[in-house]
Chains A and B, each alone.
Chain A
Amino acid sequence: MSDIQQSIIIRTIVRIMIPFILLFSLYVIMHGASGPGGGFQGGVIFGAGIILYAMIYGIEEAKKKISDKANRILASGGLVLYAGTGLLAILFGGMFLEYGVIPLMPTTAYTAKILIDVVEIGIGMTVLAVMISLFFDISPPETEEDMHIHEEVE
């Protein structure tokens, strides 16, 4: 562990910060339909929160919170959610992603807003999962054994 990782100040601040980061990301995701924001940005912020956690507490710790399998399901599920919403429009006789045709809410615009939110959530899920798994995959291995292999190669 590096000095930074051991620093009590940083560890405490990160611990306090992360819930707010994640909450903010959820806000950004849900705000996508009516203002600046959306699934991409929110997902990245969420992912950044987890990555921050992983940087300070170690990847193994982070993987306990959000495992590879969970990542995979989030990534796939998010896209299925997004495309599924689009397909729902088709089932109600519209074009792909033509939200207005779904009789969910009294007005078309309102329906569209709700469904765009659903889509944004889907996108957010995928983006956060992909961001996190990218970080996990690319970051150097931490266990003793892995390190050993690397030294050999060098």
Chain B
Amino acid sequence: MAGIIDIVYAEYNYWIYVTLMMIGFYAMIAKKNLIKKVIGANIFQTAIFLFYISLSDIKGGTEPILLHGETSTHAADIIYTNPVPHVLILTAIVVSVSTTALALALIIRIYEEYGSIEEDVILAARRKLNPEFSEYARQSEVDSQ
């Protein structure tokens, strides 16, 4: 048993990220509320960001910035953390923000049109409005059961 605990403890960052990711994934799939879906997506993405960030960390490392007075030869002695994942994640965060913003904008429009952000209500409204749709909706309900 101790072995397992050691493994969990030694790489706790990965466990955290996996747990967060699954929470987010669950919310995206299972929650009927559209806002909660978006929150789920955010948790999911944030989990991945954490994974990237923890990836780049080195014990005892310092931020990779050349400070004044340090020459390049001097710099070789210092352990730097890897800056690349940070840069990548910066971009990914921007992407995530854009996605969230777009999702929220869509939710506002959905709310304006259907008066609800609950998936069930929207589905029912669509079925009522659009007879063509009913077949499809029934089918997808069967799928989900």
Mark A residues whose CB is within 8 Å of B: 35-36, 40, 134, 137-138, 149-150, 153-154
Contact = CB atoms under 8 A, between A and B. Distances in A.
Size band of the interface chain B makes with A: 10 to 19
Given A40-B94, A153-B111, A153-B115, A138 B65 contact: no
Nearest to B114: A153
Which 10 A-B residue pairings sit nearest by Cβ, starting from the closest?
A153-B115, A134-B101, A138-B104, A154-B115, A137-B105, A138-B105, A153-B112, A138-B108, A40-B90, A40-B94
Nearest to B115: A153
B42 to A, nearest CB: 15
Nearest to A152: B115
Nearest to A140: B108
Tell me the interface secondary structure of chain A in the complex: helix
A134 B104 CA distance: 10
A150 B117 CA distance: 13
A109 to B, nearest CB: 13
Nearest to A139: B108
Interface in B66-93: 90
Tell me the interface secondary structure of chain B in the complex: helix
Given A35-B65, A36-B65, A138 B94 contact: no
Interface string B115-133: 1000000000000000000
Given A36-B65, A40-B90, A138 B115 contact: no
B114 to A, nearest CB: 8
A154 B90 CA distance: 39
A29 to B, nearest CB: 15
B2 to A, nearest CB: 42
16 contacts: A35-B65, A36-B65, A40-B90, A40-B94, A134-B101, A137-B105, A138-B101, A138-B104, A138-B105, A138-B108, A149-B112, A150-B112, A153-B111, A153-B112, A153-B115, A154-B115
Contacts of B90: 40
Contacts of A138: 101, 104-105, 108
Nearest to B91: A40
B89 to A, nearest CB: 12
Given A40-B90, A154-B115, 14 more contacts: A35-B65, A36-B65, A40-B94, A134-B101, A137-B105, A138-B101, A138-B104, A138-B105, A138-B108, A149-B112, A150-B112, A153-B111, A153-B112, A153-B115
